[in-house]
Amino acid sequence: MDNKGPVQKTVVLEPFIKLVRLLARAFYDDYTTKSDNQPRTARSDNRGIAVVVLDELTRKQWVREEDLAKELKLHAKQLRKIIRHFEEQNLIMRDHRKETAKGAKMYSVAVAATTGGRAEDKVKFHTHSYCCLNYPQIYDIVRYKLHRMKKKLKDELEDRNTVQEYGCPNCQRKYNALDALRLISMEDDAFHCENCNSELVVECNKLTSEEVADGDDNARKRRREKLRDMLQKMEVQIKPLMDQINRVKDLPVPDFGSLIAWEARAAIAARENGELNPNDPLRSQGGYGSTPMPFLGETKVEVNLGEGKEDVKSNGGDSSLKVLPPWMIKQGMNLTEEQRGEMRQEAKVDVGSSKLSDDKKSAMEGGDEKDLLKDEYFKAYYAALIQQQQELAQKQREEETGGEVGAPDNELASTSPNRQVGMKSKREEEEDVEWEEEAPPVAVGGNGNYKVDLNVEAEASGGEEEEEEDIDWEEG
186 binds other proteins (CB under 8 A): no
Q: In what order do the strands lie in the sheet with 174-176?
A: 174-176, 165-167, 201-203
x/- track of binding to other proteins for residues 105-144 (CB under 8 A): ----------------------------------------
Closest contact distance (angstroms) between CB of 182 and other proteins is: 9
A 10 A CB-CB count for 106 gives 23
Instruction: For residue 372, give the H/E element and its range.
Output: helix 372-402
Shortest reach from residue 166's CB to other proteins, in Å: 8
Would you count residue 439 as binding other proteins (CB under 8 A)? no
| Gap between the Cα atoms of 462 and 113, Å rounded | 50
Smaller CB distance to other proteins: residue 179 or 474?
179
Other CB atoms closer than 10 Å to residue 344's CB: what's the count?
A: 14
Please identify which residue in 14, 158, 225, 310 interacts with other proteins, judged by CB under 8 A. 158
| Binding residue for other proteins, selected from 35, 38, 127, 161, defined by CB under 8 A | 161
215: left (phi over 0), alpha (psi -120 to 50) or beta: left
For other proteins, give the closer residue by CB, 163 or 405.
163
User: Is residue 101 within the footprint of other proteins (CB under 8 A)?
Assistant: no
The total of other beta-carbon atoms located within 10 Å of residue 233's CB is 10
Quick one: 178 or 456, whose CB is closer to other proteins? 178
The whole-angstrom separation of Cα 435 and Cα 444 is 12
Helix (H) or strand (E) holding 132: strand 127-133
Contact status: 212 vs other proteins (CB under 8 A) = no
Q: Which is nearer to other proteins, 30 or 188 (CB)?
A: 188
Cα distance between residue 132 and residue 186, in whole Å: 63
Residue of 190, 372, 380, 433 that binds other proteins (CB under 8 A): 190
Question: x-or-dash pattern for other proteins, window 192-211, by CB under 8 A?
Answer: ----------x---------
Output 199 or 430, the one with its CB closest to other proteins.
Answer: 199
**Region of 162-170, 303-311, 339-347, 388-396 interacting with other proteins (CB under 8 A):** 162-170
* Residue selected from 42, 181, 236, 458 as contacting other proteins according to rule CB under 8 A: 181
Q: How far is CA 252 from the centre of its chain?
A: 11
Distances (CA, A) of 403 to 2, 396, 400, 419, 473: 56, 10, 5, 21, 17
Tell me the number of residues near other proteins by CB under 8 A: 19
The yes or no reply on residue 236 touching other proteins (CB under 8 A) is: no
Q: What does residue 142 show for φ and ψ, rounded to 5 degrees?
A: -60, -45
Are 1 and 268 within 8 A, CB to CB? Answer: yes
Pair 150, 158: CB distance under 8 Å: no
Binds other proteins (CB under 8 A): choice among 189, 250, 318, 465: 189
| One character per residue 238-257, x = contact with other proteins (rule: CB under 8 A) | --------------------
Q: What is the helix (H) or strand (E) element at residue 336, kind and residue range? A: helix 326-339
* DSSP string over 188-199: SSSBB-TTT-PB
Q: Confirm or reject binding of residue 180 to other proteins (CB under 8 A).
A: yes
Nearest distance from C-beta of residue 234 to other proteins, angstroms: 22
β-bridge mates for residue 130, sequence order: 64, 95
Q: If binding is defined by CB under 8 A, does position 372 make contact with other proteins? A: no
- CB of 316 closer than 8 Å to CB of 328: no
CB of 190 to other proteins, least distance (A): 7
Instruction: Tell me how far, at minimum, the Cβ of 90 lies from other proteins, in Å.
Output: 25
Q: Is 191 in the site for other proteins (CB under 8 A)?
A: yes
* Contact pick of 12, 163, 383, 384 for other proteins (by CB under 8 A): 163
Q: Using CA atoms, how far apart are residues 157 and 145, in angstroms rounded to an integer?
A: 18
Binding site for other proteins (CB under 8 A): 158-164, 176-181, 184, 189-191, 202, 215
